[in-house]
Amino acid sequence: MTFEFDHLFICTDIGAAIADRLVEFGLVEGGSRTHTGQGTTNRCFFFHNAMLELLWVHDPAEAQSDLIRPTRLWERWQGRNPSAAGPSELRSALIAGVDRCCPFGICVRPVDRSSDANPAGSEASAFSSWAYKPPYLPESVSIAIATNSDRLTEPMLFQIPLGQRPDRAPAEKVQPLEHRTGWQEITRVEVVSPVVTKPSPELQTLLDAQLVRLRVGTEYCIELGFDGESQDQHLDFRPELPLKLCW
């Protein structure tokens, strides 16, 4: 089975006010969601083949509950920006042995799925994983989270059940896909990391499949390329958001 990029999340400040800058630039915001029981909320931008998600914790108690704690979402969110956080806010990240956590999550999905051969929750995983069953999903459905989830210097890797291209969504789930920028597809996902270590086997799997690129830099950043980047232009949203858009 082959896999493709589904979406990226970036941990942001509460409310993700930076999303307004994306709208001003020419992107059309899609629907948002509160992940009941997980303690997170998002603001999203959809393209023909994938999605950009800005994610924050709205309920610390839920995010630190026994069920959610293994995802390390709380640590990633708290450790996203040490310069803006106090010592108590970084305690969990420091216990994990890092002074800044990678604030990204990368989700993949199968390219082709037969609903008869692979019912929800039973499909093969792109990497070594464990089953995560958040309260907002039906009991029979789980998210495959890569077993490198404790390595907070790497992106959280996961695979969602029943993932599909936004431009193939059923009528009741259609999201705005036409942006003033004219962009249609995300064609490059590159993680810039200040950590120089050998990638985990789970991350290496995505690198080998050319679903994600990785390079060393001075700080965490995600570069998203659109439609082959034929215009050779870019817009950098740092320091407010570790995101660079290239087209």
Q: Each residue of 31-57: pLDDT tens digit?
A: 999 999 999 999 999 999 999 999 999
What does the pLDDT average to over 174-200? 96
Structural domain contains residue 220: no
What count of Cα atoms within 13 Å lies in the side-chain half-sphere of residue 106? 27
Cα 232 from Cα 234, distance rounded (Å): 7
Residue whose C-alpha is closest to residue 6's, from 214, 158, 155: 158
Question: For residue 206, what are the contacts with CB-CB under 8 A and spacing of at least 6?
Answer: 106, 108, 126, 127, 157, 212
Range of the domain at 54: 3-180
Phi, psi of 196 (to 5 degrees): -105, 85
Cα 221 from Cα 196, distance rounded (Å): 14
Structural domain contains residue 243: no
Cα 172 from Cα 86, distance rounded (Å): 43
Contact 152, 73 (CB under 8 A): no
Cα 70 from Cα 132, distance rounded (Å): 9
Structural domain contains residue 65: yes
Q: Does pLDDT of 90 surpass 50?
A: no
Name the DSSP letter for residue 126: S
Q: Full-prediction pTM beyond 0.85?
A: yes
H helix or E strand, kind and range, residue 77:
helix 73-78
What does the pLDDT average to over 85-93? 47
**CATH number reported for the structural domain that contains residue 80 in this entry:** 3.10.180
Structural domain contains residue 193: no
pLDDT at residue 99 in the model? 64
- 77-100 burial: b if 16+ Cβ within 10 Å, else e: bbbbbbeeeeeeebebbeebebeb
State the total domains in the chain.
Answer: 1
pLDDT at residue 94 in the model? 46
Structural domain contains residue 88: yes
The model's pLDDT over 126-143, given as tens digits with 9 standing for 90+, comes to: 999 999 999 999 999 999
**40 exposure class (CB count in 10 Å sphere: 0-12, 13-18, 19+):** buried
Provide DSSP, 6-40: EEEEEE-STT-TTHHHHHHHTPPP----EETTTTE
What does the pLDDT average to over 18-43? 98
Contact 136, 35 (CB under 8 A): yes
Structural domain contains residue 247: no
